[in-house]
Structure 1
């Protein structure tokens, strides 16, 4: 086994701020603790939580790396005590607790998955954060089942594309919202039966028309307060509203809550990062059993909108904040 370097390059975000604060820095290569793997990072996914952490509103949990980055793909180069599934030299993708924007990253072995056959590391790096989040929220908390109808907001985001593809693959009818004609068409290409431009269409009216007034079974929402009342209006009997982000704000005022009681609506949501390693490991096992076979068949693959080298992470974040992308943004770290 080759000797590992003592130092590595990583993306620092200083005291926080706009994308311009991101810059390459040098620091020590992390050492894997018990039950962790050290991964030589080949590619790292860019996600909204990274943007929030850079801005100071999403701090890492105790003990996690302060470096940005929650998903990586690469090669195992060292194994901590108590590991056993993966060996040095194997390629994996991982949901990290932090530290992904770097040449080396540690991740609990339970949160690592083999890269599906046929996928390169670029696409593999686009898997963990969104697929863990969608599986846990849409199919876990949202209890989406075959034959049901779901509305996915932000249909061309990384989360949105994943949700559309997986929901369709598991037999649900999918509706989506997006902010332009091109994005609406992209939602349809990914598997949505109908998609609505929220800038020009009233998605509540469109949903009621599509469902013949019955309403939806599930809504997956990342907008938050501005959509809360309208989401309730979209849901039918025993509907479930699953909230995974608050891009439009957290405080909803003057909301009629009666539909929750009258139609037995469940309002739920979650974040991924605070979950325990054991909880994330359960999600990883479910993904490997239920979703990885689809990926090996070339189905439900994450579309990569743009790639940037690690040194241009600021540009990747600026693109993320522009919301002009369709699919994932990925940092390339090594060959």
Structure 2
């Protein structure tokens, strides 16, 4: 069986030679057949030149270079499409993920029949304020939303059966939630393994406040897609119908009460526009109609959508 190691990267020229040497040592020690796929996500340093030099010396090395920076998710997606191995390992290029974990991850997938195994960095060397606390919030929210009991969804070190990575598309910034994407497709045998976390040796972390907020927004999007992605009318249509009926019956109540006042009590009724409830009911009916139309348009888009390019590859070796 062959192992494909997919490594997305951005400006990691300093770490690439050491990472390559470390991975090759582990592969040779365990007599693994492997391919090492580096995905350069539009680096501005010498990362691509180093990848090309490594490929010239080691035929097991392959490379993909994006035209510009499209994001880690797109890098993983491109690497997954290129991967030919029976087991796919993903890891970061900053030397914080240890290649020494690969044999155990490989064993869990091949012998324990896990569809996906996610690493768990129990002891971290990141800043608590910048990354540790946000990661804990991410993982808590992801567990509650997905029902998958993983402690570290965002760990870059993961192992997959080939059928898993060929069945999912990792877009936007969904790389954090690949276990959820796999579960939504139908893969349920998802495991976790505590892994060693290395202190960053070169460069600076790419984590920022924008990734913190985007991560939660992506989680909400993923929840919606998993529940209503194929039938948006089930959500928007239901909400729209419910709000429209509230507005309709409220308006009917106002109208009937005015008629009752005129014909039963023989009193002159005030205009319905003098009743604040009329405007609330009218607004509710309009919002309900808009929600229903939104669900209908969503259904039409799904029926006629065409797949667009998520990234553009400049070079490939």
Q: TM-score range by the shorter chain?
A: under 0.3
Comparing both structures, which one devotes a greater share of its residues to strand? 1
> Higher Cα Rg: structure 1 or 2?
2
How does the TM-score come out when normalised to structure 2?
Answer: 0.24
How does the TM-score come out when normalised to structure 1?
Answer: 0.23
